[in-house]
Chains A and B, each alone.
Chain A
Amino acid sequence: AQKITQTQPGMFVQEKEAVTLDCTYDTSDPSYGLFWYKQPSSGEMIFLIYQGSYDQQNATEGRYSLNFQKARKSANLVISASQLGDSAMYFCAMSGFSGSARQLTFGSGTQLTVLP
């Protein structure tokens, strides 16, 4: 079975500083993908970044980068130059097989608050 662990229920960061949100995963599937989503209070899940298990380089998307350490089974999200609009819940998710279903498994989320 797959499992995603986010150990930081809440994080605070000062505006314009960088912040790292932790994510570890567990799976026996050799092929998987790792995603980060942002969920503002409106409820919509917004895709941020994706890393495939066979990708050699860490993924980057603008101010977002994914620090992928396969041996440690970690996929931390780094947000550079935080902005007030970054305040939201952040979810790490993994694709792969869970039982009979190929689906996304989500972590419990990290509530990020950016302070002015």
Chain B
Amino acid sequence: KAGVTQTPRYLIKTRGQQVTLSCSPISGHRSVSWYQQTPGQGLQFLFEYFSETQRNKGNFPGRFSGRQFSNSRSEMNVSTLELGDSALYLCASRSSGQGAGTGELFFGEGSRLTVL
């Protein structure tokens, strides 16, 4: 069974640009969550999608957005990049339709974004 796949694994952007990251969940998983990991702030929840609808959203500015497609694949977009957006962006999927408290999250290897 294939795991969570994130692309690209590494990317470099400059300030003011935008970026789109992609996540393919484990087959059959309908919930996809995104997390940002930085040395200073640690792991922070961005948002969760279930059946193409954003169900939960963390405390991030509107520059961070996402969507989910009918095949459960998800994308997240960051517009007007800032230096502080440099981070490892992790995607996670799970099979349960309930809240994050039930069922384990399966994570991808992440997309490492560097903003210059």
Contact = CB atoms under 8 A, between A and B. Distances in A.
Whether both chains belong to one complex is answered with: yes
Interface of A: 31-33, 35, 37, 42-47, 50, 52, 91, 93, 95-96, 98-109
A103 B48 contact: yes
Nearest to B100: A95
Contact of A103 (B33, B102, B112): B33
B104 A50 contact: yes
A42 B112 CA distance: 11
A43 to B, nearest CB: 4
B42 A44 contact: no
Interface of B is mostly: strand
Interface of A is mostly: strand
A47 B105 contact: yes
Interface residues on B, range: 20 to 34
Contacts of B105: 35, 45, 47, 104
A47 B56 contact: no
A49 B83 CA distance: 35
